Structure 1
Amino acid sequence: MLERLGDINWKLLIVLVLVSAVVAYVGDVLGMRIGKKRISIFGLRPRYTSSIVTAVTGVFITLATLAILSTTTDTVRTALFSLKFVQRQITELTSQLQENQQEMQALELRLFENQAELAAKRQELARVERRLAESEESLRTLQEQLESSLAAKSAAEARRQELEREVHRLEAQRTELQEDIETLRKGLEQIRAGRIIVLAGEIIAQLPLPQGSDGIAAEEAVRSLRERAVVVIRRRLPEGSEEMTVEIGEDSLRQVLDRIGAGGSPLRMVLRLVASSNAVLGERVQTKVEALESTRIYEAGTVLLVREIQGGLTLDAAEAKLYEILAEVNGKATADGVLRDPLRGTVGNLAAAEFFDAVEKIASSKGTLELVVTAAETTFTEGPVQVELEVRSPEEKTAVQ
Structure 2
Amino acid sequence: MNFSGSGANWFLILSLILGSAALAFLGDVLGFRYGKQRISIFGLRPKYTSRLITAITGGVITVIVLGVLSAFSQDVRTALFSMNYIQQQLLDLRLQLNQSQEIADQAQEALAEQQARMQVTTASLDLARLDLDSLRNDRLLLEQEKSDLAASVQGLRDESEQLKQALHTMRSGSIALSANVLLAQGAFEPGTSEEEARKGLEDLKQRARVAAQVRMSELLPSTPRSVSVTFDPEEEASLLKRIEDAPDRLYVRAISRENVAFGEEVGVRFEVGRSLLLYSDGDVIYRRVYNAQAQDFDAEEALHSFLRDLKVSAIHEGVLPDPATNNVGTLRGEEFFDAVETLRSIHTPVIINGLASGDIHTEGPVNLRLSFQE
Instruction: Output the TM-score relative to the length of structure 1.
Output: 0.47
State how far apart, in whole Å, the 2-side matches of 1:347 and 1:331 are. 9
Asked whether the equivalents of residues 304 and 375 of structure 1 are also in contact (C-alpha less than 8 Å), the reply is yes
Q: 1:248 to 1:314 in 2, by over 3 A?
A: farther
Q: Within 5 A, what are the aligned runs for 1:55-74?
A: none
In the alignment, what sits opposite 2:235? 252
In the alignment, what sits opposite 2:191? 212
Describe the SS at the equivalent of 1:349: coil
In the alignment, what sits opposite 1:326? 307
- The residue type equivalent to 1:335 in the other structure is H
In the alignment, what sits opposite 1:233? 212
State how far apart, in whole Å, the 1-side matches of 2:173 and 2:350 are. 49
Displacement of 1:377 in angstroms is 1.0
In the alignment, what sits opposite 1:272? 253
State how far apart, in whole Å, the 1-side matches of 2:351 and 2:184 are. 36
State how far apart, in whole Å, the 2-side matches of 1:193 and 1:307 are. 41
State how far apart, in whole Å, the 2-side matches of 1:211 and 1:280 are. 38
Describe the SS at the equivalent of 2:298: helix
Q: 1:291 to 1:216 in 2, by over 3 A?
A: farther
Asked whether the equivalents of residues 173 and 259 of structure 2 are also in contact (C-alpha less than 8 Å), the reply is no
State how far apart, in whole Å, the 2-side matches of 1:260 and 1:227 are. 18
List runs of 5+ in structure 2 lacking aligned partners.
1-165
Matched, 1:191 2:170: yes
Q: Within 5 A, what are the aligned runs for 1:39-54?
A: none
Counterpart of 1:290 (choices 259, 266, 271) is 271
Aligned residues with identical type, % of pairs: 29
Describe the SS at the equivalent of 2:208: helix
State how far apart, in whole Å, the 1-side matches of 2:252 and 2:295 are. 43
Matched, 1:365 2:346: yes
In the alignment, what sits opposite 1:311? 292
Asked whether the equivalents of residues 173 and 260 of structure 2 are also in contact (C-alpha less than 8 Å), the reply is no
Instruction: Output the TM-score relative to the length of structure 2.
Output: 0.50
Describe the SS at the equivalent of 1:213: coil
In the alignment, what sits opposite 2:152? none
In the alignment, what sits opposite 1:335? 316
Asked whether the equivalents of residues 283 and 355 of structure 2 are also in contact (C-alpha less than 8 Å), the reply is yes
Counterpart of 1:200 (choices 166, 174, 179) is 179
- The residue type equivalent to 2:171 in the other structure is R
Displacement of 1:188 in angstroms is 8.2
State how far apart, in whole Å, the 1-side matches of 2:337 and 2:358 are. 21
Displacement of 1:210 in angstroms is 1.6
State how far apart, in whole Å, the 2-side matches of 1:314 and 1:210 are. 52
- The residue type equivalent to 1:340 in the other structure is P
Q: 1:315 to 1:389 in 2, by over 3 A?
A: farther
Matched, 1:221 2:200: yes
- The residue type equivalent to 2:363 in the other structure is E
- The residue type equivalent to 1:255 in the other structure is S
Displacement of 1:312 in angstroms is 4.5
Asked whether the equivalents of residues 195 and 281 of structure 1 are also in contact (C-alpha less than 8 Å), the reply is no
Asked whether the equivalents of residues 243 and 250 of structure 2 are also in contact (C-alpha less than 8 Å), the reply is no
In the alignment, what sits opposite 1:137? none
How many residue pairs are counted as aligned between the two chains? 205
Asked whether the equivalents of residues 172 and 261 of structure 2 are also in contact (C-alpha less than 8 Å), the reply is no
In the alignment, what sits opposite 2:337? 356
Describe the SS at the equivalent of 1:258: helix
Describe the SS at the equivalent of 1:356: helix
